[in-house]
Amino acid sequence: MRLFTGPRISALALAAAVAAAPFASAQAQVTKIQSNPQALILDAADVKAGTDIIFLSGQLASPVDPKKTFADVKSIDDLGDTKTQTISVLTKIKALLEARGYTMADLVKLTLFVAADPKLGHMDFAGANEGFKQFFKTADNPTTVARSTFQVAALAGPYFLIEIEGIAAKKK
């Protein structure tokens, strides 16, 4: 019984194809696309097949006082304003990435969910950007990410002003 009815592949051709297979993943790449180099965010990120990707769940700020737990949080002052919370969340994201061999430069997409600051009566987009600037387009990380920002009615707790989720990608 003959199972293969197509053209015969020589042993040499088959060996060459198998030998080339590992190099396909070595060509994996991430291209960050930015039409305006002065812009704070990317236009897009192109992630090719064979690239390692990590999806980060939404992260929330930690209490300003590291001795406090979430049970101790009784006001926005315990978590800080939007800028302070953004820095806290991005610090958590940085630690999550580094624990898995990624860097902040490997981030390709962030989604920011921002609640209104009761002191302002609206979301503090400028504060979120000020916190963001501590991690992107810096001497340590001259890159940036594709990003979306949404104002939301509320987050997981009454004193959270920002939640950030992300996607990072790097060559294998």
Contact at 8 Å (CB) between 151 and 104?
Answer: no
By 3-state DSSP, what share of the chain in percent is helix, strand and coil, each rounded to 5?
30, 25, 45
**24 pLDDT above the threshold of 60:** no
pLDDT band at 171 (very low <50, low <70, confident <90, very high): confident
Domains and CATH numbers, the chain: 28-170 (3.30.1330.40)
Q: Which residues of 118-145 are buried (b: 16+ CB within 10 A; e: fewer)?
A: eeeeebbeebbbbbbeebbbeeebebbb
* Average pLDDT, rounded, for the chain: 86
At 125 the pLDDT is: 98
Percent pLDDT > 70 in the chain is: 84
Q: Look at the pTM and tell me if it is higher than 0.75.
A: yes
Average confidence (pLDDT) over 68-84: 95
